[in-house]
Amino acid sequence: MEIRLDDRIALVTGSTSGIGEATARRLVACGARVMLTGRNEEKLQALHRELGERQGQVSWLAGDLASEAFRGQLMAATIERFGRLDILVNAAGIIAMDRVDELDLAAYDRLMEVNLRAAIHLTSLAVPHLEKTQGTVVNVSSVAGLRAFAGILSYCVSKAGLDQFTRCAALELAPKGIRVNAVNPGVVLTRLHTREALSEEAYARFLEHSKTTHPLGRVGTPEEVADLITFLVSDRASWITGVTYSIDGGRAQTCAR
């Protein structure tokens, strides 16, 4: 059965690349109207033109989710533009290569601000609007929230926190009719690593090695994760809340290697 989200209003963070962009595209294809946001204003404008400028299906606001003030502006702009909110997808995220014995606290704080605090804050801001629509939240977490990996300490901690936030928020918001879930991808073909941590050469080696660490023998695509997110925000998932869904080619079932 085809998923339809006609006239649903969605806010998707991190929508200029990777899983966020793929999710925005998928939601629009299913009939939703979407507020796009990210730091790349040029990319937002291009997506706006491509996905729905003429039909008024898409709007955008550029800014840094590390800013508490911007998060408030973003929620206000979404409601002002579309009148309500049905779906919040917290897809924005950054990564860093760090260890507990070589920790840069300023970098740690920024990563936690973007990956965890922003998602918590936006969800809190969304609650009054989602309560009116019996809406839903999906947080984009990671296999690193479920399993420990050396060398990406802050990222693992942020995603583990996001998973627990998902469960707690689901319990607290269920009486309001709001569902909250998370998806936990393994390695996915995005620009996350090269934008924040690895050179192109190192990333190519990482992807090749990842074929051996994922039991299905390959990494994932943003579109595969977007399909799961689209299901979770749809009425077909109306009795699902508080769940962290692995979509990782079996990576979370393996031992370290």
Q: What is the DSSP letter of 101?
A: G
- Joined tokens for residue 255: 């031992």
| CA-to-CA dists, residue 218 to 91, 144, 206, 232, angstroms | 22, 17, 12, 24
State yes or no: is 108 an active-site residue: no
- Joined tokens for residue 212: 């051996």
| CA-to-CA dists, residue 246 to 32, 47, 63, 92, 243, angstroms | 25, 28, 30, 18, 10
Ordered strands of the 58-62 beta sheet = 58-62, 33-38, 9-12, 87-90, 136-140, 179-185, 244-247
Torsion, Cα of 14, 191, 194, 203 (10° steps): 150
Catalytic pick among 108, 155, 203, 245: 155
Distance of CA 252 to the CA centre of its chain: 19
CA–CA dist 89, 227 (Å, integer): 13
Closest CA to 63 of 36, 86, 87: 36
Q: Are 35 and 77 in contact (CB under 8 A)?
A: yes
By annotation, the residues acting in catalysis are 155
